[in-house]
Amino acid sequence: MTPCINQRKYFRDDFYRCRSRAGGKPPCRNVSLRAFEIEHLISSMFEQSEAEHESSANAPLEAIRSSWHELNMRTQTNLLATIIKEVIFDPDAGSIVVTLVDDAAERIMTAKSDGSPTR
């Protein structure tokens, strides 16, 4: 999926659209998600406890969880734009796979230690 923006005078709509045309594949029909929905999903994954999430043995993810809830929403939104490497949406399976950049945990901990206001 690739980020897209529709701008009409005073209204801006951020969303992600399927880019299946890449590599000569036929385009997906009506496969797009509002940016807020994806950002909210990823943010909620960061806020889940180890017991709620299947990847509890993932040390970088645990480091993210321990710092994420202490950041305010604006800082979280700005960080999401820098730590998400790839989002793969499979509408048939109803699944979303999110890949983060290698230093995502470091970026979040740096934002926390920089004195970003908490909620």
Q: What is the pLDDT of residue 108?
A: 86
Residue type, 109: M
**How many Å apart are CA 46 and CA 61, to the nearest integer?**
7
Neighbours of 32 (CB within 10 A): 14
Q: What is the pLDDT of residues 3-61, one digit of tens each?
A: 778 888 888 888 877 766 666 666 666 677 788 887 888 888 877 755 555 544 566 67
On whether residue 11 sits in a domain, the answer given is: no
Residue 3 resides in a domain? no
Q: Please report whether residue 96 resides in a domain.
A: yes
Alpha helices in the chain (DSSP H): 35-47, 59-68, 73-83, 104-113
Instruction: Quote the pTM value.
Output: 0.62
- Residue 87 exposed, middle or buried by CB count within 10 Å (0-12, 13-18, 19+): middle
Q: What is the pLDDT of residues 61-115, one digit of tens each?
A: 777 777 888 888 888 888 887 888 877 777 778 777 888 888 888 888 888 777 6
Residue 7 lies in a domain: no
Asked whether residue 46 is assigned to any structural domain, the reply reads yes
Domain limits at 83? 35-113
What is the total count of domains within the chain? Answer: 1
- Residue 10 covered by a domain: no
